[in-house]
């Protein structure tokens, strides 16, 4: 590819074809680099990045000397090449310097040396050697004279111009140099493009990747600017974390206070405003106060950022980075709003219940006021209730339909959090950082990508809906991919084009195999992880942390050494693969979030379902008005059930609050202690516990959670027991208080008796909510009979306690949910070492460098020796600098190169352990890992399709240890 730094307005790629011996050379020519018209845009960065990604030789046709602007362009193209990971080429940069009168190379070689040194210095934060990615050598300088000479003809006194004969000779030499360089590149790197079809597909994919990620990836003009940008991002990140935490804490206190005020207002004001039954005005007022708080914190964050970025070299960049401070802080505002609305919905549901009950009671009031209760009265009452019932159903359905969040609202919330997170974290130096490959997604672009992947989703859903029918699934795939039917072939072709995952689109057999592996293995695990997130978080879809976890799951799925993506890395377009997996994961999340919204809507709609029950309650109470004993018995039964309902509701919340407070300060679930316990109780268990070892290996994050729950089991059970004991005491106190009220009351009106009881119960049980449906205003004909019937509640205490005991599982569920929610926030990063599966235990909230105290033998993660396929019983850092690592069709020599290329976030940790690790000089894992291997080797050898060693050194690997049988599945708790 030829790049020209001429000042020209219109720039495009011009395709040319040349032939040299048996080599076909494709020439892509572009105009307009460093043009004034494109100044300040990312255009030049995109052009030269396209050249670097697509070419064996890049000719930089430049007039004059090597400039700092050119240095900046090449530096940013190097950064983009590292991030996109889509080119195996190491292009030769050929500097063609035109119009040179003095063609002594010494000066220009000095310039190129300085040029390369500057480039290496400015790229130091990328932790990469220029020589590994680009060929920049002194012999790659070509000095050309001007194509024309000119002078004044002294005889004619005119200016004359003529073609310089030196120029075509040197051009021919340049051509030979290019042909020789191309031949050398293709032979040395073995990366010639196969044909025009392959080349077109490659060029198209390169440009799509550059175009989609350009705004985030190539916004900076130079590596120095990028480094400065990252420095500013670090400053902004600390401020954002602090202000986000403040917003979360102060915002929660603010909104909780508003909710409590509203509850008290409802309790004290029986005649509530029917126009705001669903609290729309209240919610708007709460959101307005939260907006004021958020605005203040955003202003403080911007002021702190400005104060901390006063260095002179920050001036040109600081404003660009500051634009992300406000949306990042506001992520937690969205979460608070969602939770506030959710809590308000609960109050709104109570309001709706009260409103409906009052409306039904108003319809029945005139009939209760009559002294006679004839059959005609009952029929008239039923007709009046039926009429009002139908009116209320219609009213509630209309209100609820306008109140429900739409699918579009849910999608916008999730995409908004996603875009804010990606914008804040992209542009890092880490070349495998997934955030640098995450595309920005507005709702239209998201739906567009979903439509392109619609056929893939069909196969994914078919798989997920029948997770146990392997044979049927295999048959379905085989019939699609192996059929010679033209329609079936067309389906696969459409599927492949829409996915655009594959480097060589013509290798159908390999591409089909990769696709099936992704659908069969990678997607189900991703789906399971997303569902696991949602199970433990009340409103997880609106929580920015959920998006962080989601992206971590995609990252783990892609970087795991046994992942089909790592096994076929060279055959996949990693940028496109990342985008589609992110879209798939977001879609799975959005679909589950919509289910949550639908479930909340159904909860609110229970008001409608309860109308029939309330209507019957009114009728029943009307019927017993003539019999005081029946009135007393009915009142007793209703009050019993309400006392149980209220004490259970209130003490479930007390249980959750107590658990949350205890877990947030518990020393038993500190991340370091859980990591130690998880290792000791599995890998380090003596005798080896095969179940725990397999859990540690298969899903270490889930196992950490299981261990943490075990550590707090006693505390959790004690809290539940304590709260249930207190509940029973309070419940019995409520019964005694109710009996005392009835004994002391004249008992002339059921409603008056109930009001006095409810007043006293609110003292015994703060938060007790009276019900409109208990004790409808009705006269009591014989108070003695009423009291005698009601006092039978004394004998109900034992039965009521048994009902509470039966609800113990519900209290346990509340406690476990509260435990899991708190524990997950304390266990930290979920990223795993790609070669051994060790969990990162870096406690920093946001970090680039991962580390783990205990790496384990790579065989536990399925790493096997090349060709013989026997388990690799070495630690990740052992022989890091000496042995090769083969993955799929790629060889990394030494093994450290693999981490440089695929997992640089773990490199510092492994380098440190290679230098200082206890077993750095050994070629086997520690004794506890060797014992653990012997306990599960049959299972893992079969699971990873390895070939077991024919024998083991009994001194290192005791044969006396019983190994679990192949196919064994660990039993999760």
**Would you list the DSSP string of 431-482?**
TT-GGGGPPP--HHHHHHHHHHTHHHHHHHHHHHH-TT-HHHHHHHHHHHHS
Q: 188-202, 262-276, 507-521, 567-581: which has the minimum mean pLDDT?
A: 262-276
Question: 651 with 576, same domain?
Answer: no
Question: 441 with 579, same domain?
Answer: yes
Q: How far apart are CA 783 and CA 787, in angstroms?
A: 6
Domain count, the chain: 5
Q: Which CATH number characterizes residue 107's domain?
A: 3.40.50
Provide mean pLDDT across the span 837-843. 84
**Which residue, 562, 614, 556, is CA-closest to 585?**
556
* pLDDT value of position 723: 93
For residue 276, the tally of other CB atoms under 10 A from its CB is: 14
* Confidence bin at 474 (pLDDT 50/70/90): very low
* pLDDT value of position 460: 67
Provide mean pLDDT across the span 715-731. 93
The sign of the dihedral angle between the CA atoms of 14, 17, 20, 23 is positive
Residue 841 lies in a domain: no
Residue 667 lies in a domain: yes
Question: 408 with 547, same domain?
Answer: yes
For residue 460, the tally of other CB atoms under 10 A from its CB is: 20
> Three-state SS string across 22-61, please?
CEEEEEEEECCCCCCCCCCCCHHHHHHHHHHHHCCEEEEE
938 with 693: CB under 8 angstroms? no
* pLDDT value of position 804: 92
Q: Which whole-number Å values give the CA distances from 516 to 174, 473, 509, 773, in the listed order?
A: 48, 10, 11, 59
Q: Which whole-number Å values give the CA distances from 397 to 403, 602, 645, in the listed order?
A: 10, 11, 27
For the chain, the average pLDDT equals: 80
Residue 852 lies in a domain: no
Q: 520-524, 732-736, 897-901, 938-942: which has the minimum mean pLDDT?
A: 520-524
* pLDDT value of position 473: 44
Residue 973 lies in a domain: no
For residue range 194-243, list pLDDT tens digits in order: 677 777 777 887 887 777 776 667 777 778 888 888 888 888 888 888 88
Residue 383 lies in a domain: no
Question: 741 with 607, same domain?
Answer: no
**Would you list the DSSP string of 875-917?**
-TTTTTTTS-EEETTEEESSTHHHHHHH-GGGHHHHHHHHHH-
Pairing of strands 890-892, 885-887: antiparallel
User: pLDDT at residue 917 above 50?
Assistant: yes
* pLDDT value of position 8: 31
For residue range 424-465, list pLDDT tens digits in order: 777 666 667 888 888 888 899 898 888 887 777 776 666 666
Q: Hey, what are 392's tokens?
A: 């209320």
User: pLDDT at residue 811 above 90?
Assistant: yes
* pLDDT value of position 848: 76
User: pLDDT at residue 586 above 80?
Assistant: yes
410 with 589: CB under 8 angstroms? no
Q: How far apart are CA 632 and CA 649, in angstroms?
A: 26
Q: Identify whether 894 is preceded by a cis peptide bond (ω within 30 of 0).
A: yes
Q: Hey, what are 145's tokens?
A: 């004279």
Question: Could you identify the residue written with the tokens 């004249």?
Answer: 746
Question: 537 with 512, same domain?
Answer: yes
Domain of 781, in residue numbers: 625-827
* pLDDT value of position 365: 65
Question: 248 with 217, same domain?
Answer: no
* pLDDT value of position 67: 74
Long-range pairs, 383-389, Cβ under 8 A, ≥24 = 385/360, 385/615, 385/618, 385/619, 386/615, 387/363, 388/359, 388/360, 388/362, 388/363, 389/360, 389/611, 389/612, 389/615
Q: Which residues pair with 839 in a beta bridge?
A: 832
Question: 466 with 358, same domain?
Answer: no
Question: 186 with 290, same domain?
Answer: no
Question: What interhelical angle do 783-790 and 713-744 show, nearest 10?
Answer: 160
Q: Hey, what are 950's tokens?
A: 């024919």
For the chain, report the end-to-end CA distance as a whole number of angstroms.
Answer: 60
User: pLDDT at residue 118 above 50?
Assistant: yes
Sheet holding 23-30, edge to edge: 13-20, 23-30, 2-4, 57-63, 92-98, 141-143
652 with 811: CB under 8 angstroms? yes
* Confidence bin at 947 (pLDDT 50/70/90): very high
* Confidence bin at 870 (pLDDT 50/70/90): very high
User: pLDDT at residue 7 above 50?
Assistant: no
Select the more confidently predicted residue: 399 or 419: 419
Which of 616, 640, 674 terminates a domain? The answer is 616
* pLDDT value of position 19: 74
* pLDDT value of position 297: 92
Q: How far apart are CA 853 and CA 158, in angstroms?
A: 82
For residue 971, the tally of other CB atoms under 10 A from its CB is: 8
Q: How far apart are CA 826 and CA 824, in angstroms?
A: 5
Q: Which residues pair with 847 in a beta bridge?
A: none
Q: Which whole-number Å values give the CA distances from 13 to 57, 203, 209, 936, in the listed order?
A: 16, 11, 17, 58
User: pLDDT at residue 886 above 60?
Assistant: yes
User: pLDDT at residue 2 above 50?
Assistant: no
Residue 849 lies in a domain: no
* pLDDT value of position 14: 57
* pLDDT value of position 483: 57
Q: Which residues pair with 689 in a beta bridge?
A: none
Q: 287-291, 497-501, 806-810: which has the minimum mean pLDDT?
A: 497-501
Residue 431 lies in a domain: yes
The distance of Cα 809 from the centroid of its chain, to the nearest Å, equals 31
**Would you list the DSSP string of 657-671?**
HHHHHHHHH-GGG-H
- Residue 114's contacts (CB-CB under 8 Å, 6 or more residues apart) are none
Burial grade of 701 (CB within 10 A; 0-12, 13-18, 19 or more): buried
User: pLDDT at residue 727 above 90?
Assistant: yes
Provide mean pLDDT across the span 118-127. 81
The distance of Cα 178 from the centroid of its chain, to the nearest Å, equals 47
Question: 299 with 435, same domain?
Answer: no
**Phi, psi for 17 (deg, rounded to 5):** -130, 135
Q: 242-246, 388-392, 692-696, 817-821: which has the minimum mean pLDDT?
A: 388-392
Question: 286 with 260, same domain?
Answer: yes
* pLDDT value of position 735: 92
Pairing of strands 2-4, 57-63: parallel
748 with 783: CB under 8 angstroms? yes
* pLDDT value of position 648: 93
Max Cα separation, the chain? Answer: 142
User: pLDDT at residue 766 above 70?
Assistant: yes
Provide mean pLDDT across the span 184-191. 66
Question: 251 with 365, same domain?
Answer: yes
* pLDDT value of position 540: 57
The sign of the dihedral angle between the CA atoms of 465, 471, 472, 478 is positive
For residue range 332-386, list pLDDT tens digits in order: 787 788 778 777 776 766 666 666 767 777 776 666 666 555 555 677 777 777 7
Residue 53 lies in a domain: yes
* Confidence bin at 718 (pLDDT 50/70/90): very high
For residue 458, the tally of other CB atoms under 10 A from its CB is: 11
Which of 205, 221, 237 terminates a domain? The answer is 221
118 with 78: CB under 8 angstroms? no
Select the more confidently predicted residue: 133 or 506: 133
Question: 642 with 784, same domain?
Answer: yes
* pLDDT value of position 273: 45
For residue range 57-90, list pLDDT tens digits in order: 888 887 767 777 788 888 888 888 887 777 777 8
The sign of the dihedral angle between the CA atoms of 442, 448, 454, 456 is negative
Element (DSSP H or E) covering residue 696: helix 690-698
User: pLDDT at residue 706 above 50?
Assistant: yes
Provide mean pLDDT across the span 667-688. 88
């Amino acid at each position: 590819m030829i790049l020209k730094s001429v000042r020209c307005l219109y720039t495009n790629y011009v395709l040319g074809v040349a032939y040299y011996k048996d080599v076909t050379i494709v020439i892509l020519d572009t105009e307009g680099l460093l043009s004034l018209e494109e100044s300040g845009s990312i255009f030049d960065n995109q052009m030269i990045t396209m050249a670097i990604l697509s070419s064996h030789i890049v000719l930089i046709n430049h007039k004059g000397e090597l400039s700092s602007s050119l240095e900046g362009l090449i530096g940013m193209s190097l950064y983009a090449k590292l991030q996109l990971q889509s080119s195996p080429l190491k292009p030769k940069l050929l500097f063609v310097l035109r119009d040179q009168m003095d063609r002594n190379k010494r000066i220009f070689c000095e310039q190129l040396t300085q040029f390369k040194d500057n480039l290496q210095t400015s790229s130091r934060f990328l932790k990469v050697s220029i020589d590994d990615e680009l060929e920049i050598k002194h012999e790659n300088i070509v000095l050309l004279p001007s194509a024309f000479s000119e002078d004044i003809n002294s005889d004619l006194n005119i200016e004359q111009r003529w073609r310089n004969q030196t120029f075509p000779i040197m051009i021919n030499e340049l051509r030979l140099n290019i042909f020789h360089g191309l031949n050398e590149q293709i032979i040395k790197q073995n990366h010639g493009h196969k044909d025009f079809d392959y080349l077109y597909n490659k060029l198209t994919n390169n440009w799509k990747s550059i175009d989609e990620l350009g705004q985030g990836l190539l916004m900076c003009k130079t590596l120095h600017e990028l480094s400065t940008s990252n420095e500013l991002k670090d400053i902004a990140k600390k401020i954002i974390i602090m202000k986000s935490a403040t917003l979360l804490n102060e915002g929660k206190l603010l909104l909780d206070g508003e909710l409590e005020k509203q509850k008290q207002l409802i309790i004290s004001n029986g005649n509530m405003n029917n126009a705001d039954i669903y609290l729309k005005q209240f919610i708007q007022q709460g959101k307005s106060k939260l907006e004021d708080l958020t605005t203040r914190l955003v202003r403080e964050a911007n002021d702190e950022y400005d104060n901390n970025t006063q260095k002179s070299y920050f001036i040109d960049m600081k404003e660009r980075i500051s634009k992300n401070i406000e949306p990042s802080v506001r992520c937690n505002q969205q979460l608070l709003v969602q939770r506030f609305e959710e809590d308000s919905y609960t109050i709104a549901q109570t309001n709706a219940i009260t409103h409906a009950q009052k409306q039904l009671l108003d319809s029945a009031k005139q009939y209760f006021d009559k002294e006679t209760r004839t059959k005609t009265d009952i029929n008239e009452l039923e007709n009046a209730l039926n009429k009002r019932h139908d009116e209320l159903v219609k009213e509630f359905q209309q209100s609820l339909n306008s109140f429900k969040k739409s699918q579009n609202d849910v999608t916008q919330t999730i995409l908004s959090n996603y875009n804010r997170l990606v914008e804040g974290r992209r542009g890092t130096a880490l070349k495998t950082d997934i955030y640098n490959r995450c595309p920005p997604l507005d709702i239209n672009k998201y739906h567009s990508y979903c439509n392109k992947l619609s056929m893939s989703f069909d196969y994914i859903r078919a798989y997920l809906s029948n997770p146990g029918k392997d044979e049927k699934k295999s048959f379905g795939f085989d019939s699609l991919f192996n059929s010679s039917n033209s329609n079936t072939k067309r389906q696969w072709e459409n599927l492949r084009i829409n996915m655009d995952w594959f480097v060589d689109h013509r290798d159908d057999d390999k591409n089909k195999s990769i696709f099936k592996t992704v659908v069969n293995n990678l997607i189900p695990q991703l789906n399971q992880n997303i569902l696991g997130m949602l199970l433990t978080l009340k409103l997880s879809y609106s929580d920015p942390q959920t998006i962080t976890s989601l992206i971590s799951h995609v990252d783990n799925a892609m970087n795991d050494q046994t992942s089909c993506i790592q096994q076929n890395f060279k055959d996949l377009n990693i940028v496109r693969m990342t985008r589609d997996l992110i879209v798939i994961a977001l879609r799975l999340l959005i679909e589950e979030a919509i289910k949550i919204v639908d479930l909340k809507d159904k909860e609110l709609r229970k008001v409608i379902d309860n109308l029939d029950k309330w209507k019957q309650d009114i009728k029943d109470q009307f019927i017993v008005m003539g019999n005081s004993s029946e009135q007393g018995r009915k009142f007793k039964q209703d009050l019993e059930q309400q006392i149980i309902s209220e004490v259970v509701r209130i003490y479930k919340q007390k249980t959750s609050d107590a658990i949350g407070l205890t877990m947030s300060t518990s020393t038993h679930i500190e991340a370091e202690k859980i990591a130690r316990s998880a290792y000791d109780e599995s890998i380090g268990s003596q005798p080896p516990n095969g179940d725990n070892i397999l859990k540690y290996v298969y899903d270490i994050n889930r196992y950490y959670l299981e261990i943490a729950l075990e550590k707090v089991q006693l505390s959790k059970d004690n809290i539940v027991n304590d709260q249930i004991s207190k509940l029973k005491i309070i419940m019995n106190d409520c019964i005694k208080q109710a009996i005392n009220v009835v004994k002391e009351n004249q008992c002339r009106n059921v409603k008056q008796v109930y009001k006095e009881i409810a007043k006293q119960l609110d003292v015994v049980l703060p938060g007790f909510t009276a019900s409109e449906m208990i004790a409808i205003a009705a006269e009591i004909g014989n108070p003695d009979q009423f009291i005698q019937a009601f006092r039978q509640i004394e004998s109900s205490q034992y039965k009521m306690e048994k009902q509470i005991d039966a609800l113990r599982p519900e209290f346990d569920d509340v406690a476990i949910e509260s435990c899991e929610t708190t524990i997950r926030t304390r266990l930290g990063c979920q990223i795993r070492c790609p070669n051994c599966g060790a969990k990162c235990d870096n406690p920093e909230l946001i970090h680039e460098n991962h580390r783990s105290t205990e790496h384990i033998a790579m065989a536990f993660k399925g790493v096997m020796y090349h060709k013989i396929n026997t388990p690799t019983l070495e630690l990740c850092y052992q022989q890091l600098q000496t042995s090769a690592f083969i993955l799929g069709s790629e060889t990394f020599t030494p093994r450290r190169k693999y981490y440089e290329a695929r997992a640089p976030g773990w490199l510092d940790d492994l380098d440190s352990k290679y230098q200082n690790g206890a077993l750095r000089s050994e070629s086997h894992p520690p004794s506890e890992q060797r014992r653990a291997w012997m306990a599960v080797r049959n299972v893992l050898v079969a699971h990873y399709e390895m070939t077991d060693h024919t024998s083991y050194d009994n001194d290192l690997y005791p044969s006396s240890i019983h190994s679990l049988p192949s196919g064994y599945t660990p039993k999760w708790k």
